[in-house]
Amino acid sequence: MSRKSHHQPLFRRPRALLPLLALLLLALALFAIADNAYNRGITYTPAPSRIAWADVPRLGVNAYNIQYEAEPIKVTRTLEMARDLGAQYVRIQMPWEDLEISAKGDFFDHKNNKDAWAKYDFIVAEANRLGLELIARLDRPPPWARATANATPEFQEGLTRDGNSTGPPDKVADYADFVGAVVGRYRGKLRFFQIWNEPNLKNEWNWRTPAPSEFVELLRAGYSAAKQANPAAVILFPSLSPTDGRDKKAPMTELEYLDQVYALGGKAYFDIMSAQAYGLGQPPDEHRYIRPRPLPDRPLDTRVDVSRIVLVREVMERNGDSDKAIWISEFGYNSAPEQKPDADPQTWPSQRVLWGQPVSEQVKGDYLVGQLKRARAEWPWVGVMNVWLLRWGGPDPAPSDPTPYFALVKQDFTPLPAYQKLKAFMANGPIAGVGTHDWSNPAVVARGTNEWAVRFEGTSFGLLDLRGPIEIALDNQPSRAVNPRIERRVLPIAEGLADGEHVAVVHSANGPPSAFLIGRAAPLPWLWVLVPVLLISALVLLGALLGGRIEN
């Protein structure tokens, strides 16, 4: 006599399938995290459109407090060390409170009985003489311009927490007049101006809640005044401080702040986006964008270290602003030592890790070079990258201030290992990375009449908008004739190259193409398509089985 089995097939037991469902969901989540880390923000195949102000010399430096040097020779030496490093850009501050000091229209330093413009005239003249481009940051109103804001209880209380606090003026028109005066004075000598700095922080906004609407008004006024004074002036958006929205000084993330700026029409009032890209102790090839946090409302959160700039770029793209470059206003690594005899032993352990875990001087140099290489390989939308900082200028820092340990050069002008590593990297010359590049890119070098050499890194090379037949030679191979097809803007020249350095020599009697394109092969491209398809298909099938069983 046979007995009927009580064992049911697995698909008829819903509870038995739940662990499989959980496993598939976990696998999909882990795959999404891996895809985020390996592919997010990386350009492999560029669109055939150029990005304004991206095809520029890459390296710049911050000349911190250069305006407070008592001896002109130190200004000159600082700028000479920037030039010798291979930097082409020097970012400086032109504090409003240090120029229009005592009253509106009064550009005289009554305390020291001299013209307030004089030291800035000297900095600009020396930079011009040495072939350096300055980027001037315009912020910090004088007391007369923010008397009302200064008297508020919230600002006075904020000063007890941060004695260097500042904020917008009482009248936006006063700031516009100041910007116009600076831009007009240096017309033909200085092109790049950053309007304000970190307006998403309370201590930069009179200790009031940062308001994108108020900032857009300030940005519009500064932009309009600058363009009126010099239509050729180039305006940089102020770099926002990367924040997670939980800092009392920054109640919203910089990404939310930037999104609101775009919603309010701020896109029209700057030519170049500016952003910070501090490593915070992380290596430059750190690609993780999210981190687990023990917070019930935010178990997963975005990271604020070296890759944060990619998230800024995504905000730009969502708001239709992908044709602008991002210039990195500040990037760097701190090398504060564990022990500092003249620092306060109670506060130094926490002060030295303000910007993440410090690194050695040797590692600092390696990481700075690594970040430049990463931008070249992955981010065609990045233009100038300004190291924070070249050298601490002006009065000596407070003993417990770790900021000087960002420097490439000691106060006595002794180069540190990071300076030497960057100098060696820059001495190798410019190399174009992934992207669509204008023919004016520094990696293009003219070789006599109608011939150019292009140094690049990538696995493919193409030309855009040829003007007629050309001859091209790649990596010292024999040259070959190429006749462009009129119906195709982009002409592929080489694909499947080794992902390393190459040189293409182009000869054209009709002049150069308008641009060239560099691509990189994505690693295992099939994997990032196949795996999610399989996982989602398995989830759909499992859902159908569970649904059918529950109905029965």
> How do beta strands 326-331 and 273-276 pair?
parallel
Tokens of 284: 């430059």
Model confidence at 515: pLDDT above 70: yes
Model confidence at 1: pLDDT above 50: no
Res 528: pLDDT: 82
| Contacting residues for 5 by C-beta, under 8 A, at least 6 apart | none
Give the closest residue to 224 by CA, choosing from 262, 187, 270.
270
Res 110: pLDDT: 97
Model confidence at 291: pLDDT above 60: yes
Least confident of 376-390, 493-507, 524-538: 524-538
pLDDT in tens, 436-483: 999 999 999 999 889 999 999 999 999 998 888 899 999 999 999 988
* Dist. CA 375–CA 385, nearest whole Å: 9
Q: What angle do CA 356, 359, 360 make, to 5 degrees?
A: 160
Res 444: pLDDT: 97
Q: Exposed, middle or buried by CB within 10 Å (0-12, 13-18, 19+), for 197?
A: buried
| Contacting residues for 525 by C-beta, under 8 A, at least 6 apart | none
Tokens of 528: 């990032």
Res 552: pLDDT: 53
Model confidence at 165: pLDDT above 90: yes
Burial 455-466 (b: 16+ CB within 10 A, else e): bbbbbbbbbbeb
Tokens 């099939």, residue located: 526
The H or E element containing residue 235 is strand 234-236
Q: What share of the chain is helix, strand, coil (3-state, %, to 5)?
A: 35, 20, 45
| Over residues 25-54, mean pLDDT | 88
Model confidence at 510: pLDDT above 80: yes
| Over residues 340-369, mean pLDDT | 95
Model confidence at 168: pLDDT above 50: yes
Burial 479-517 (b: 16+ CB within 10 A, else e): eeebebeeeebbbebbeebeeeebebbbbbeeebbebbb
Beta bridge partners of 127: none
Beta bridge partners of 291: 301
Phi, psi of 536 (to 5 degrees): -70, -40
Res 7: pLDDT: 55
| Over residues 194-203, mean pLDDT | 97
Least confident of 150-159, 295-304, 430-439, 524-533: 295-304
Res 487: pLDDT: 52
Of these ranges, 11-15, 198-202, 282-286, the one predicted with the greatest mean pLDDT is: 198-202
Model confidence at 203: pLDDT above 70: yes
Tokens of 362: 């040797």
Question: Mean of the per-residue pLDDT values for the chain?
Answer: 92
Q: Around 210, how many Cα atoms within 13 Å sit in the side-chain half-sphere?
A: 30
* Dist. CA 177–CA 138, nearest whole Å: 12
* Dist. CA 495–CA 206, nearest whole Å: 55
Model confidence at 83: pLDDT above 80: yes
| Over residues 90-99, mean pLDDT | 98
Model confidence at 343: pLDDT above 70: yes
Tokens of 531: 């795996």
Tokens of 125: 């003249």
| Over residues 137-159, mean pLDDT | 97
Model confidence at 13: pLDDT above 50: yes
